[in-house]
Amino acid sequence: MQTKTRKEQIYQVAGRLFSQRGYHATSMRDLASQLGMQGGSLYAHISGKEELLVEIVGQATDQFEAALNPLRAADLSPQQKLREAVRAHIRVVTDNLESATVFFHEWQHLSPEAYAKVVARRDVVEKFYRDLLEEGIDKGVFRQDLNVKLTAIMILSVSNWVYTWYREGGPLSAEQIADQYVDMLLPGLLVQQ
């Protein structure tokens, strides 16, 4: 296991600063000084400030996709698949709190091309939950009268919002948060027994 390349170090410190102060409020000199170098020296490693934002937001999106995609074809009941999805989703948020914060807060400040790509990849995550809900409806597990789109947004709301309040060392693990959320949400989704 090699130590981090200088480039990865730069991304990491940029993620921390962007999440704390915001993208536009972080100067390249702030970033450089935290890395023990001069402002201009950063450009030996990166092409510009926006590369940092593109990279951090891209890393976060990668993580969400890597966490959810394997569940698409998983052999689980809809209830169990929802539980595993929310667990994985919240774990991505809590394990990558800084890049998740940058992802949710700063992606609007990307250039139009990078912005469009992120929108498309966000839509994939939302579609994952819509497909999951529709699968559950087809199987007779979830209520037929669900508003699939709004329900997917509800699941995303609670899972994403974790980035605003979760702090390491808090009383609940990512799994515990997810399980308690799913326990509260499932009764409203399931058909009456």
Residue 87 in tokens = 């667990």
Q: Are 186 and 85 in contact (CB under 8 A)?
A: no
- Which listed residue (10, 60, 100, 177) binds a second copy by CB under 8 A? 177
37 binds, among a second copy, DNA, none (CB under 5 to 8 A by kind): DNA
Q: If you search the block for the tokens 């990668």, which residue do you land on? A: 62
Q: Which stretch binds DNA (CB under 7 A): 33-41, 78-86, 116-124, 159-167?
A: 33-41
Q: Does 43 bind DNA (CB under 7 A)?
A: yes
Q: How far apart are CA 182 and CA 84, in angstroms?
A: 10
C-beta of 35 vs 153, nearer to a second copy: 153
One-letter amino acid identity for 104? F
One-letter amino acid identity for 120? A
Q: Does 144 bind a second copy (CB under 8 A)?
A: no
Near DNA in 52-71, by CB under 7 A: none
Q: Which stretch binds DNA (CB under 7 A): 21-29, 109-117, 129-137, 147-155?
A: 21-29
Angle at 165 between CA 160 and CA 166, to 5 degrees: 85
